[in-house]
Amino acid sequence: MSRSTNLQKLTIAMPKGRIFEESLVFLEQAGLKVTQDLKDTRKLIIPVEDSHLEFILAKPTDVPTYVQYGVADVGVVGKDVLLEEERDVYELLDLQIGYCRMMVAGLPDFSPSEYPRVATKYPRIASRYFREQGQQVEVIKLNGSVELAPLIGLAERIVDIVSTGQTLRENGLVELEHICEITTRLIANRASYRMKSEAVDDIAQKFLQVIPKSPAGKR
């Protein structure tokens, strides 16, 4: 840490929730001090002693917002959130963790209705995807339990992230179309990327050391 302490202070926004545990392991592997405080997720701002780093724990969808406005210099966040939020940030690294797929799913006997409806937590991604497919659909924004929508007749299809597919199976749904693959990314604020370039490069370099080398072709 002796070298790092000469660097400018860096605030890192970390996502609570789905990719939090995996991200912590990743930080530890990258040689960053992960204190007990960080694992105790009730605290929201966690300074790291003897270091130039400070962590903010945020709701995943808010991570790009914190970074765009510069209250956090860098952030760790899923590509799903980046695609949905369309924030003006630098996307520096694919950390190759938190892997899942953005899928269209529905009941096995699905056939499109005259006025198709799609339920999702990701209205922008869903709208963009169906538009590209040349389909006009009504997108219904839900905040959770999206799998419920086809079962109770709210929508014929859903757009959601799928990792093992277990939740879909348990609800009798099947994957219909593959939209894209999702992994966790390191993002940076536009000004921090230049004003604190050494500190940002330092953390990117540390992360780069532990990124699992993926087989060629897998994105």
Partner 1 sequence: MAKPLVFEKPLGMRDILPESLAKHRKLESVLRGSIEKWGYEEITTPSLEYFDTVGAACVTLEGRMFKLLDKQGHTVILRPEMTAPIARVVSSLYKHVPLPIRLYYQANVFRAQEKEAGRPAEFFQTGVELIGEASVDGDAEAIALAVACLQAAQVPSFKIAIGHVDFIDGLLDEIVKDPQIHTQFRAYLHDRDYVGYRQLVESLELSDDERRRLHALMHLRGGKSKIAEAHELTINGKARKAVQTIASLWEALEAYGVTDHLLLDFNLFSNFNYYTGTIFEGYSADLGSPLLGGGRYDTLLEQFGRPAPATGFAINMDRLNQVTTLTTTRTEQRLVIAYAPDRREEALRQAQAARQTGRVVITRLLTDGDVTESLSNQAQDEIMILTAEEGEV
Choice between 42 and 218, CB closer to partner 1: 218
Q: Which stretch binds partner 1 (CB under 8 A): 24-32, 65-73, 126-134, 139-147?
A: 65-73
CB of 92 to partner 1, least distance (A): 6
- Single-letter code of the amino acid located at 59: K
Pairing of strands 138-141, 100-106: unpaired
Spatial contact of 97 and 184, defined as CB atoms under 8 Å apart: yes
CA 113 to chain centre: 32
Among 69, 112, 113, 212, binds partner 1 (CB under 8 A): 69
Q: Which residues contact 4 (CB under 8 A, 6 or more apart)?
A: 51, 52, 53, 202
Verify binding: residue 41, partner 1, rule CB under 8 A. no
DSSP 3-state percent helix, strand, coil across the chain (nearest 5): 35, 25, 40
Closest CA to 141 of 120, 160, 118: 120
CB of 148 to partner 1, least distance (A): 29
Verify binding: residue 88, partner 1, rule CB under 8 A. yes
Among 22, 54, 91, 177, binds partner 1 (CB under 8 A): 91
How many residues are present in the chain? Answer: 219
Verify binding: residue 11, partner 1, rule CB under 8 A. no
Choice between 70 and 123, CB closer to partner 1: 70
- Which residues sit at the interface with partner 1, rule CB under 8 A? 68-71, 88-94, 185, 189-192, 194-195, 197, 216-217, 219
